[in-house]
Amino acid sequence: MNRTLIIVKPDGVARGLVGEVLHRMERRGLRLVEAELRTLDAATAARHYAEHEGRPYYDGLVSFITSGPVLVAVVEGPEDTWRMVRTMMGPTNPVDAPPGTIRGDLATVMAQNVIHGSDSAESAVREIGIFFPHLA
């Protein structure tokens, strides 16, 4: 699977970072397959974050991701695209994210860490199916 799903989260859209994030992907050599600004409903957010259900931060996570428009996009690369994007994102907690990564350059707190990227080839297939079923 050489495609992966990214979401520029509500904080990233509100701060005007959509162009910055897409610019990094495109400069790297990844191709934009789909991109759309959407406000997620609770059911879609719950489906997307199903693995986190029951965690103490789950309610906050769902209310945050549905709090405003997000940019959902599919990017494509030659090989292990999900892993390349994860490397470009940096660790979940921006405190641990090195400079040069999206979170290391653009975020300070875990709850508002600018970007989501699929965390495995299987997740990429599942998540692309949620947001862009015609590509599945």
The site partner of 61 among ligand ATP, Mg ion, none (C-beta below 5 to 8 Å per kind) is ligand ATP
* Residue 119 Cβ vs Mg ion, minimum distance, rounded to whole Å: 5
CA angle 67, 117, 64 (to 5 degrees): 15
Q: What is the closest distance, in whole angstroms, from the C-beta atom of residue 61 to Mg ion in the complex?
A: 10
Q: Looking at the annotation, which residues are catalytic?
A: 116
Query: Residues with Cβ < 8 Å from 56, sequence gap 6 or more?
Result: none
Among positions 84-103, residues that touch ligand ATP (CB under 6 A) are 92
Binding partner of 110, given ligand ATP, Mg ion, none, CB within 5-8 angstroms per partner class = ligand ATP
Alpha-carbon distance 64 to 8, whole Å? 12
E strand or H helix at 61, and its extent? helix 58-65
Q: Indicate which single residue of 113, 114, 124, 127 sits in contact with ligand ATP (rule: CB under 6 A).
A: 113
Structural contact between residues 116 and 13, judged by C-beta atoms closer than 8 angstroms: no
Pick one of 1, 46, 61, 130: the residue that binds ligand ATP (CB under 6 A). Answer: 61
Contact 21, 85 (CB under 8 A): no
The site for ligand ATP (CB under 6 A) is made up of 57, 61, 92, 110-111, 113, 116-117, 119
